[in-house]
Amino acid sequence: MSHISDEKIPNNVNLTEDKKLQRALEQWQPDFLRWWMDMGPSGFQAHQVYLRTAVGVDANDWAHYDFVKMPDYRWGIFLADPVTDRRIPCGDSVGQPAWQDVPGEHRNTLRRLIVTQGDTEPASVEQQRMLGHSCPSMYDLRNLFQVNVEEGRHLWAMVYLLHRFFGRDGREEAEELLARRSGNEDHPRILGAFNEPIDDWLSFFMFTMFTDRDGKYQLLALAESGFDPLSRTTRFMLTEEAHHMFVGETGVGRVVQRTAELMRQAKDGDVRRAGGVDLATLQKYLNLWYSLSLDLFGSEVSTNAASFFAAGLKGRVKEEKFQDHVALEGAYPMEIPDRTGQLTRDEVPLRSAMNEVLRDAYVEDCQRGVDRWNKFLADAELSERFALPSRRFHRHQGVFAGLFFDPQGKPLSAEEWERHKDDWLPSAADRTFVKSLQAKAIVDPGKMANWIAAPPRGINGKPIEFEYVRAEA
Ligand code: BYC
Ligand code: FE
Ligand code: FE
């Protein structure tokens, strides 16, 4: 196992050898904890929770499972092991030694990328803070808290970079990361999806399926950064991220399974009356969180994306799989809308299309998850299927923002959109219904709410009926 310290801030970055940095982070730590107590999971801060804690970066031995009160969670700073003689993987400086320090000319851009990434982590904790009061099982409650503490650790990962490499500006940004608030009109989080409410468990599962998966792709792109500390940090964050997407994909999958079961049982086929979530409502929640997450990739045509790539600050997923790492030649064919939504084919210079290249990989990954949900429907001999809506549907960033399209991608007038939007996105009534299923938290070990199937197995070899969250001190 790589070196883990018993210090106040567990780390594998030799914090004791940089007293100034250590002091700065130890000063930020109580502010983080205050934020966690104010904005972290409501109602369970004194409970013992069966959590995994990152204790190192060895592939087989990086996590430790035990009961811990969330405020005592040991949020640490862990960078993946360095790659010997690592080179800048893409852009104008491809092949040069990777930067171990921030190049002056990229300082502001890098800071902005790190702050944008960092901001999403506490935002998601804020969005999810009330969910413990309506959990469908103790197993799910534990998974929620696991995701929450790890998003907290991801914030630490970005704050480490800010403190270590960006001096006073970095420390100020670190304070701001604790000051913005998800959904607050005056001081919101930076990106759209992170200001949306997540106040029911279906939203939580869709968010961890689709929005955490955006996280995966953004982190994969940053793992290709020529700024080596950012690459190493994000590579280790990806290890934790896999579980968040597992929670989302299997969470929705279990709802689908239960719905299929209720459809077969209910004589009149009325799933809602049988206390389940009907397939149409599931599709609407999918449409919402998928489209909000597509926005997180930025515009289809982006000079920002081109300059991130040119500078070697952000690459493509597994850059080594591409032949040409400079991307000055070649074009990406795209359908670009005019002001009425009519599409014309255009050739976008490859560098300017990097957001779209990343989005392509993401869409494919989402489709694989949806296919697995559809397999549950097929297994239950149901003919309905889920589908990802068109990338043009319900967009607020990029070339389709401000225009209206149906889930198949057909242009609509504003009036048509208004008339149909409740058919495609959760309506106020749908949300009220979903919440009504979750009015009461289910906390008897092993028991599941009526609207969701039990998972096939528990956490870390423990049984499903294990008491994952305990009230005693
Ligand atoms: N909301 O060229 P454009 C995660 C702004 S999730 C609001 O289209 P660009 C997680 C943009 O800033 C991963 N504003 O896009 C998941 C720009 O502003 P300026 C998060 C937006 O610059 C679950 C303008 O619009 N990580 O980790 O390529 C739980 C036009 O810019 C949005 C990252 O995002 C939006 N959705 O930006 C916990 C990685 N989209 O310059 C965690 C870091 C764009 O005109 N960020 N804008 O003032 C980036 O790589 C990029 O900044 C973006 C795309 C992906 C945001
Ligand atoms: Fe994260
Ligand atoms: Fe995550």
**For residue 2, is pLDDT > 70?**
no
Which two structure tokens, joined as six digits, stand for 307?
């300059």
Return the ligand number nearest the Cα of 126: 1
Give the whole-angstrom CA distance, residue 437 versus residue 255.
12
* Structural domain contains residue 50: no
CB 120 less than 6 A from any atom of ligand 1: yes
- Mutation to probe ligand 1, out of 173, 177, 243, 299 (largest number of atoms < 8 A from CB): 299
Q: Which residues surround ligand 3, an ion (CB under 5 A)?
A: 212, 215, 241, 244
**DSSP reduced 3-state for 74:** coil
294 and 395 Cβ atoms separated by less than 8 Å: yes
Give the whole-angstrom CA distance, residue 457 versus residue 465.
10
Return the ligand number nearest the Cα of 230: 1
Round the CA-based radius of gyration of the chain to a whole number and report it: 23
DSSP 267-325: TT--TTTTTS--HHHHHHHHHHHHHHHHGGG--SS-HHHHHHHHHTSS--TTGGG-S-S
Helix (H) or strand (E) holding 79: none
- The per-residue pLDDT for range 11-58, each reduced to its tens digit, is 999 999 999 999 999 999 999 999 999 999 999 999 999 999 999 898
Bridge-based pairing of strands 63-69 and 331-337 is unpaired
* Structural domain contains residue 338: yes
- The per-residue pLDDT for range 312-349, each reduced to its tens digit, is 999 999 999 999 999 999 999 999 999 888 999 999 99
Q: What is the 3-state secondary structure (H, E, C) of 336-387?
A: EECCCCCEEEEEEEHHHHHHHHHHHHHHHHHHHHHHHHHHHHHHCCCCCCCC
- Mutation to probe ligand 1, out of 182, 293, 397 (largest number of atoms < 8 A from CB): 397
Return the ligand number nearest the Cα of 122: 1
142 and 52 Cβ atoms separated by less than 8 Å: no
* Structural domain contains residue 133: yes
195 Cα: distance to centroid of ligand 2 (angstroms): 16
Give the residue, 430 or 61, on which the prediction is more confident. Answer: 430
Residue-level pLDDT at 61: 86
* Structural domain contains residue 165: yes
How large a percentage of the chain has pLDDT more than 70?
A: 99
40 and 70 Cβ atoms separated by less than 8 Å: yes
CB 355 less than 6 A from any atom of ligand 1: yes
CB 151 less than 6 A from any atom of ligand 1: yes
**For residue 3, is pLDDT > 50?**
no
Q: What is the 3-state secondary structure (H, E, C) of 412-447?
A: ECHHHHHHHHHHHCCCHHHHHHHHHHCCCCCCCCCC
* CATH assignment of the domain containing 236: 1.10.620.20
Q: Give the total number of structural domains in the chain.
A: 1
345 and 335 Cβ atoms separated by less than 8 Å: yes
- The per-residue pLDDT for range 203-259, each reduced to its tens digit, is 999 999 999 999 999 999 999 999 999 999 999 999 999 999 999 999 999 999 999
CB 224 less than 6 A from any atom of ligand 1: no
- The per-residue pLDDT for range 267-299, each reduced to its tens digit, is 888 999 999 999 999 999 999 999 999 999 999
| Residue whose CA lies nearest to ligand 1 atom number 5 | 298
Give 407's DSSP letter. Answer: T
CB 302 less than 6 A from any atom of ligand 1: yes
**For residue 6, is pLDDT > 80?**
no
Give the whole-angstrom CA distance, residue 317 versus residue 361.
8
* Helices and strands: H and E segment counts in the chain: 12, 7
CB 127 less than 6 A from any atom of ligand 1: no
Give the whole-angstrom CA distance, residue 160 versus residue 22.
10
37 Cα: distance to centroid of ligand 2 (angstroms): 19
Burial of 321 (0-12, 13-18, 19+ CB in 10 A): exposed
- Mutation to probe ligand 1, out of 191, 295, 351 (largest number of atoms < 8 A from CB): 191
* Structural domain contains residue 162: yes
User: How crowded is residue 359: how many other Cβ atoms within 10 Å of its Cβ?
Assistant: 21
Q: Which residues have a Cβ under 8 Å from the Cβ of 131 and sit 6 or more positions away?
A: 41, 144, 198, 199, 200, 201, 204
149 Cα: distance to centroid of ligand 3 (angstroms): 10
* Structural domain contains residue 243: yes
215 Cα: distance to centroid of ligand 3 (angstroms): 6
347 forms bridges with which residues in the sheet?
A: 333
> Of 48, 39, 52, 55, which Cα lies nearest the Cα of 70?
48
| Residue whose CA lies nearest to ligand 1 atom number 49 | 113
314 and 221 Cβ atoms separated by less than 8 Å: yes
Give the whole-angstrom CA distance, residue 66 versus residue 56.
15
* Structural domain contains residue 44: no
- The per-residue pLDDT for range 400-419, each reduced to its tens digit, is 999 999 999 999 999 999 99
- Mutation to probe ligand 1, out of 109, 113, 116 (largest number of atoms < 8 A from CB): 116
Q: Which domain holds residue 300?
A: 82-444
Residue-level pLDDT at 266: 87
Give the whole-angstrom CA distance, residue 404 versus residue 106.
37
> Of 364, 426, 355, which Cα lies nearest the Cα of 397?
355
Return the ligand number nearest the Cα of 218: 1
CA dihedral (312, 313, 316, 320) positive or negative:
positive
Give the whole-angstrom CA distance, residue 413 versus residue 98.
50
Say which residue the tokens 């990777």 belong to.
Answer: 98
* Ligand 1 atom at minimal distance to the Cα of residue 297: 55
Q: Which residues have a Cβ under 8 Å from the Cβ of 210 and sit 6 or more positions away?
A: 248, 286, 289, 290, 292, 293, 366
235 Cα: distance to centroid of ligand 1 (angstroms): 19
| Residue whose CA lies nearest to ligand 1 atom number 21 | 191
Which two structure tokens, joined as six digits, stand for 28?
């930020």
pTM, entire model: 0.97
- What is the overall mean pLDDT for the chain? 96
324 Cα: distance to centroid of ligand 2 (angstroms): 30
**DSSP reduced 3-state for 49:** strand
Which two structure tokens, joined as six digits, stand for 208?
């961890």
Return the ligand number nearest the Cα of 194: 1
| Residue whose CA lies nearest to ligand 1 atom number 37 | 298
- Mutation to probe ligand 1, out of 198, 209, 218, 297 (largest number of atoms < 8 A from CB): 218
Tell me how many degrees the CA angle 200-202-203 measures, rounded to the nearest 5: 70
122 Cα: distance to centroid of ligand 2 (angstroms): 9
DSSP 158-169: HHHHHHHHSHHH
Give the whole-angstrom CA distance, residue 83 versus residue 419.
55
CA–CA distances in Å: residue 164 to residues 13, 102, 203, 220: 11, 10, 36, 22
How large a percentage of the chain has pLDDT more than 90?
A: 95
Give the whole-angstrom CA distance, residue 164 versus residue 13.
11
